[in-house]
Amino acid sequence: MCSGEIPMNDSEDFEPDTAESTLTMGQPLSEGIPWGSYTELEIQTLLNMHFEMLNYEVIWRHREDPANEDGIDLECTRRSDKRRVLVAVKKKPRKEALAQVVQLAGHQADQQVFVYVDGAAQSFRDKFDTFAQKVEFWNEERMESEMNETGMTLRLKMANTKASGSMLKIMRILTALISATGTSAPTAKPTEETMHTLWAMKDRAVTVKHCATMAQLMLEDSSRFGKPGHEQVQNLVVYVLDYIFAYGLLTLQKALEDMSPELVSNRDVKRADEIMKKMR
């Protein structure tokens, strides 16, 4: 993943009826930020983006010169106040990871941060107090709290909703079909079943548009909600996206997936007609 790109986690499959009933019962469809599925390099990328948005100049020591990183993955310096922040990232650290903590603590900086995700061994956590005066230990919850300042937490939660994953799947299906069939109309006449399917898809597309428009109106006028906190705003946005997914996008996605073989067969008929014409 390159800097500036928000990672998305492939979500599990849902059926339309299951998604709607799950949402109706008040259960979440989207699970938030899947920190455990990200690699250390992806987490470093997200932190790189976060600090750059805070006007830091970032040296990515782990990527540029891993042999000489000296316990530092990201070295962040801000010219305006000459502040220096050093960051190290580790997934599931064990006792041996304390060597990197010692290296990090040995550097002079305004802030030394050791980021750990997906849990940590008890032998590692037992040493937190030993380094507490020098090093800050950030888990997933602390990272999300810190990233609220730049809006990264909201962006990550939005990118990993079911709605975002469904839109990506729909885009891929449409891209593949357009590439395969071109933009001209198929020669085969659509069946009655196909027309019913297309009409139902039109209804779902209208639902998506209307829901998205209403969400935009709601979120653009902050006075409607008083002064919600970061987490309340994030929960609202994720719920709205889950609603759009359950009552619009998922049906569109499933319909396109079901129609794909038929559309491909129309493409094959068209190509067969072209071959026959050439043979004549």
pLDDT tens-digit map of 17-68: 888 888 888 888 998 999 999 999 999 999 999 999 999 999 999 988 888 8
Are 118 and 194 members of one domain? no
Quick one: CA dihedral 237, 241, 244, 247, positive or negative? negative
Evaluate whether 60 touches 45 at the Cβ level (below 8 Å).
Answer: no
Are 228 and 132 members of one domain? no
Residue 221 CB-density burial (10 A; 0-12 exposed, 13-18 middle, 19+ buried): exposed
Evaluate whether 108 touches 82 at the Cβ level (below 8 Å).
Answer: no
Are 166 and 274 members of one domain? yes
Length, in residues, of the chain? 280
Are 91 and 185 members of one domain? no
Domain CATH code at residue 133? 3.40.1350
Are 129 and 179 members of one domain? no
Residue 4: inside a domain: no
Domain boundary among the residues 115, 147, 179 is at 147
Q: How much is the average pLDDT of 137-165?
A: 95
Are 38 and 81 members of one domain? yes
**What pLDDT is recorded for position 186?**
62
| Distance of alpha carbon 51 from alpha carbon 53, whole angstroms | 5
Are 164 and 271 members of one domain? yes
pLDDT band at 171 (very low <50, low <70, confident <90, very high): confident
| Distances 33 to 5, 117, 140 between C-alpha atoms, Å | 15, 12, 9
| Distance of alpha carbon 195 from alpha carbon 199, whole angstroms | 6
Find the Cα–Cα–Cα–Cα dihedral 8, 252, 218, 228, rounded to 10°.
-40
Taking each helix axis from N to C end, the angle separating 162-181 and 250-279, rounded to the nearest 10 degrees, works out to: 10
**What pLDDT is recorded for position 193?**
74
- Model pTM? 0.76
Are 108 and 48 members of one domain? yes
Q: How much is the average pLDDT of 115-129?
A: 94
Residue 137: inside a domain: yes
Exposure pattern of 263-277 as b/e (b: 16+ CB <10 Å)? beebbeebeeeeeee
Domain boundary among the residues 147, 172, 201 is at 147
H or E stretch at 192: helix 192-220
Cα angle, residue 246 at apex, residues 46 and 262 outer, rounded to 5°: 100
Are 116 and 140 members of one domain? yes
Residue 191: inside a domain: yes
Which comes out higher in pLDDT, residue 250 or 5?
Answer: 250
Residue 125: inside a domain: yes
Beta strand ranges found along 65-160 (DSSP E): 74-78, 83-91, 111-117, 135-138
Q: How much is the average pLDDT of 170-191?
A: 74
Residue 17: inside a domain: no
Domain boundary among the residues 120, 147, 174 is at 147
Residue 154: inside a domain: no
Domain range for 51 is: 33-147
List the one residue out of 187, 160, 149 whose CA is nearest residue 245: 160
Are 134 and 181 members of one domain? no
**What pLDDT is recorded for position 5?**
64
Domain count, the chain: 2
Are 139 and 224 members of one domain? no
- 271 alpha-carbon distance from chain centroid: 39
Residue 15: inside a domain: no
Are 46 and 67 members of one domain? yes
| Distance of alpha carbon 269 from alpha carbon 256, whole angstroms | 19
Residue 28: inside a domain: no
Gyration radius of the chain over CA positions: 25
Q: Which two tokens stand for residue 107?
A: 């550097």
| Distance of alpha carbon 250 from alpha carbon 170, whole angstroms | 9
